[in-house]
Amino acid sequence: DTGVSQNPRHKITKRGQNVTFRCDPISEHNRLYWYRQTLGQGPEFLTYFQNEAQLEKSRLLSDRFSAERPKGSFSTLEIQRTEQGDSAMYLCASSLGGRTGKRNSPLHFGNGTRLTVT
Amino acid sequence: AQKITQTQPGMFVQEKEAVTLDCTYDTSDQSYGLFWYKQPSSGEMIFLIYQGSYDEQNATEGRYSLNFQKARKSANLVISASQLGDSAMYFCAMREAITQGGSEKLVFGKGTKLTVNP
């Protein structure tokens, strides 16, 4: 079963350092999403891609955050100059959307990357 | 204003009993989709069930069913014959219609923690 894969599972970093996370979606899925989840809260939308195009970014995504999906397959999320408030679980999800998918296509989530900024 | 409201931070149910988890939503669109996800303590988000706004019948998937009341803007999840493995966080989410400038993202509620007692 080739589900959504995220690496690393855990990342501990010191404040001010840069971190990068990787997400490999389900291969036939054209849409890829990034969410952030803090303790006791639901996932909060950060950004999503259709193929290689980044179609929407949340206001939560400050200029320290950047996401790419260069070939429309895997994606990376980079956080520069990390702050303690960035500590959270970062979830990646993929789905079939647009002309190639159904409107009711659910998002399939990876296991997430837990970031701790000390 | 919150798009998705889950008013029950925690719920308890006896094994083999049924339980209803509440979800109300706010949208001015006529076309939208509602999703429920389960998140066990291990962290992965598991898709459970989908209800489209134009679906005439309530969605069912095994032991999961949706009590969809469109006029009240509620989409409550009913779990029948609860099992110990059902203990988890449950999130309601909505995808609104694609209009000009509309979005494909899912917006999540804050979740309900379900505990199934033996």
Tell me the DSSP string of chain B. Answer: --SEE---SEEEEETT--EEE--EE--S-SSEEEEEEEE-TT---EEEEEEETT-SS--EETTEEEEEETTTTEEEEEE-S--GGG-EEEEEEEEE---TT-----EE---EEEEEE-
Percent of chain A past pLDDT 90, that is, above it, reads: 75
Interface touch A42/B105, C-beta < 8 Å: no
**Which of A112, A113, A106 minimizes the C-alpha distance to A29?**
A106
pLDDT digits (tens, 9 = 90+) for B61-81: 999 999 999 999 999 999 999
A81 beta partners: none
Gap between the Cα atoms of A7 and A23, Å rounded: 7
Q: Which residues of B touch A91 (CB under 8 A)?
A: 45
Distance from CA of A82 to the nearest CA of B (A): 23
Whether B35 and chain A come into contact, CB under 8 Å, resolves to yes
Q: Which residues of B touch A38 (CB under 8 A)?
A: none
Question: Mean pLDDT for chain A?
Answer: 91
Of the pLDDT bands very low, low, confident and very high (cuts 50, 70, 90), residue B98 is low
pLDDT at B23: 98
3-state secondary structure of A37: strand
Q: In this structure, how many other beta carbons lie within 10 angstroms of the beta carbon of residue A85?
A: 9
Is a pLDDT exceeding 50 seen at residue A100? no
Of the pLDDT bands very low, low, confident and very high (cuts 50, 70, 90), residue A97 is confident
pLDDT digits (tens, 9 = 90+) for A36-75: 999 989 999 999 999 999 988 988 888 999 999 998 899 9
For B44, the closest of A33, A97, A111 (CB atoms) is A111
Whether B64 and chain A come into contact, CB under 8 Å, resolves to no
Residue at token pair 């804050």: B110
pLDDT at A101: 45
Is a pLDDT exceeding 90 seen at residue B97? no
For A106, the closest of B35, B44, B110 (CB atoms) is B35
Percent of chain B past pLDDT 90, that is, above it, reads: 75
Distance from CA of A110 to the nearest CA of B (A): 7
In contact, B6 and B109? CB cutoff 8 Å: yes
3-state secondary structure of A41: coil
